[in-house]
Amino acid sequence: MAFRRKTKDRDFTGGALPYFYQRRGSTGKPEFDARVTDLVKDWGCTENNELVEELIITALKIATDRMTTGDLKLLNRAVRELREANRTFQPYNNRRKIVVYGSARTHPDKAEAQAAELFGRKIREAGFMVITGAGDGIMGAAQKGAGREESFGLNIKLPFEQSANDTIDGDRKLVSFNYFFTRKLTFVKEAEGFALFPGGYGTMDELFEVLTLIQTGKAGVLPIVMVDVPGGTYWAQFVDFVRDELLRPGLISEDDLSLFKITDSVDEAVAEIARFYRVFHSYRYAEGNLVLRLNEPLSTEKLEKINTEYRELLASGDFTATCPLAAEASEPELADLPRIVFKPQRRNSGLLRRLIDEINAD
């Protein structure tokens, strides 16, 4: 079964971007604002002119901020890297992609690397493309399993250790980054699921970033699976730490544990990700509502159950089946999908994750 995104305007932040739909920037000089508007129009822009204008205005303001050369180089390089990444992913916007994280140091003969290669192959067979950090070890194994044509590599330039693996080296879908933050942003922006295998500091960094972004609502809720080999202790000890040192003293909530799943089965990991999109398609915030787009309508009984068991997610009202809202006009390709709409309490992503599981349940 092929899983398609079916939208060119996906908001990976889970609703944190409405500010950008109208230009708020100004040079402070109306005549310069008019010149910027004319420049963008004359350049031939046909979409999102206001956003392009705001980028130019920001650059002009930077020019008068007395920034150091080093800061200017950082900003310039970051924007260039993000542009290159967007150009690379743009032709594949309608494909769902799964990010695979894990150690670059894992030897190909290790069971963890073999599991990653099997995962790459099976998640590709399930209809997903794969994104890795382009290195060796777990990344190279997953890349090999997915194959060159069905995967992306996001390489980071380091003074040691990191170079593109044989599968993705030289491919048009390989992007090299100077900065970790632009690379990490691209991972999260393009992902529609995460699979994590054992790794070092980098893997832990990427895991906690993803969990933090989803927990705080700065990224949309996505499936996160942590994969170990049978008998492995890596993720089991991670969960022990989370329960003992984070949950027990109240630093996180019980619902936060619903944001991820741990398994020692590659088949179960693939099934967890595929199941996330069985009925659920996507969501966005619109007109003060959270709109859940579905691949098929829910039964009356299922909707009643949701209204009974998930009321903690509601700021007011009920979960209601509806047609597309006016604010969704920018995504006409999704107009045929059934929807559930509700006024959300935007503070419990773990419970929202459980709601999605309920929607997908038989």
Side-chain-facing half-sphere of 166: CA atoms under 13 Å: 5
Report the pLDDT value the prediction gives residue 203, as an integer from 0 to 100. 97
β-bridge partners, 280 = 294
- As a whole number, the mean pLDDT across the chain is 92
- Three-class secondary structure of residue 251 per DSSP: coil
Residue 11 is encoded by which pair of tokens?
């908001």
Report the pLDDT value the prediction gives residue 9, as an integer from 0 to 100. 63
Report the pLDDT value the prediction gives residue 7, as an integer from 0 to 100. 58
- Quote the pTM value: 0.93
Of 135, 140, 127, residue with least CA distance to 154: 135
Which portions of the chain are predicted below pLDDT 50?
1-4, 19-21
Report the pLDDT value the prediction gives residue 19, as an integer from 0 to 100. 45
Residue 182 is encoded by which pair of tokens?
């632009």
pLDDT tens string 59-103: 999 999 989 999 999 999 999 999 999 999 999 999 999 999 999
Tokens 């494909």 correspond to 95
Report the pLDDT value the prediction gives residue 23, as an integer from 0 to 100. 53
Rounded to whole angstroms, the Cα distance separating 143 from 328 reads: 36
pLDDT tens string 231-241: 999 999 999 99
Q: How many CB atoms lie within 10 A of CB 108?
A: 13
